[in-house]
Structures are given as structure tokens and as C-alpha cells.
């Protein structure tokens, strides 16, 4: 059987994704955050009112994992949870002033990281890359 001249695209993509993810984690850590914290902050910030179930779904994690992150973030003063007056079984999650400040810091770090990733690419190349990545995702899940 002939040896392939290139590694499988899935392996290359997995390695690159892991490398980019680690670099993004490091950029967020430098700004005093983490990827889970950023995901929760951006999800809460961009939703008018979000309960924990909706929040977990939007981030793509299980409820128990989200609860762990929310407990830590609440202890750090980044967010507050309260009962929804319309449905006492539901907790509504809101950012505190410290959470708003953390959001601003991490948003700046994320934007800076995105700029770093785009370095040397034209807008047309970025558009092609995004289309190709979406096609790979569709092929993988379809």
C-alpha cells in the first residue's frame, strides 16, 4: 500500500485547532480570564436575559459544567444569579460591574488575538478560509 504524501486533513486540522486554542487560552489568561469565562461572559452580555439552560445550550456545554463555571464566576463577583419572577425554578444570569469590566478586558484580548490570526491575510483570503472551514464542518457532521 503506498504511503500518503500528506497527513490526513482531519489530523492537520486537529493539530492546528489545538495550537490556536492554546494560544487563545494564553491570550485570555494574560488578560485575567479563560476560555470558559469568556464564553459565559459573551453569552450573557449578548442576551437580554438568559437562564442557565439557555446559556449552557448557547455555549455548547452540559448544565453541570456550566454550573461549576457560574459558581466560580459568582464567587469572583463577575455575575449574579437570581430567580426568574415568572418561573421560580429558573435562574437568570446577569453580569455585575466587575463582570462588565472583565468582559471589556477579555473582548480586547479576543480582538487583539483575532487581529494576530489575520496577520498576512487579505480579506478575500479570510472569506475563502471561512467558507472552507464551514465546508469541512459540514462534511464532518453531515
Q: Which CATH class is domain 20-141?
A: mainly alpha
Give per-residue pLDDT as tens, 16-28. Answer: 999 999 999 999 9
Distance CA 113, CA 27 (A): 7
Distance CA 70, CA 103 (A): 15
- How is residue 125 written as a grid cell? 483570503
Higher pLDDT, 121 or 53: 121
Beta carbons of 38 and 27 less than 8 angstroms apart: no
**What global pTM score does this model have?**
0.84
Higher pLDDT, 129 or 88: 129
Distance CA 133, CA 59 (A): 20
Write down the pLDDT at residue 91: 80
Give per-residue pLDDT as tens, 62-107. Answer: 888 989 999 999 999 999 988 878 887 778 888 999 999 999 999 9
Amino acid at each position: 500500500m503506498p504511503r500518503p504524501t500528506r497527513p490526513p486533513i482531519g489530523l492537520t486540522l486537529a493539530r492546528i485547532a489545538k495550537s490556536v486554542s492554546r494560544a487563545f487560552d494564553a491570550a485570555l489568561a494574560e488578560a485575567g480570564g479563560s476560555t470558559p469565562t469568556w464564553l459565559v461572559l459573551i453569552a450573557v452580555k449578548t442576551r437580554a436575559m438568559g437562564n442557565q439552560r439557555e446559556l449552557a445550550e448557547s455555549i455548547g456545554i452540559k448544565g453541570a459544567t456550566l454550573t461549576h463555571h457560574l459558581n466560580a464566576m459568582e464567587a469572583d463577583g463577575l455575575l449574579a444569579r437570581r430567580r426568574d419572577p415568572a418561573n421560580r425554578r429558573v435562574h437568570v444570569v446577569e453580569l455585575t460591574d466587575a463582570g462588565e469590566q472583565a468582559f471589556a478586558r477579555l473582548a480586547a484580548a479576543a480582538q487583539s488575538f483575532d487581529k494576530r490570526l489575520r496577520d498576512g491575510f487579505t480579506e478575500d483570503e479570510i472569506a475563502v478560509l471561512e467558507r472552507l472551514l464551514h465546508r469541512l464542518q459540514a462534511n464532518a457532521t453531515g
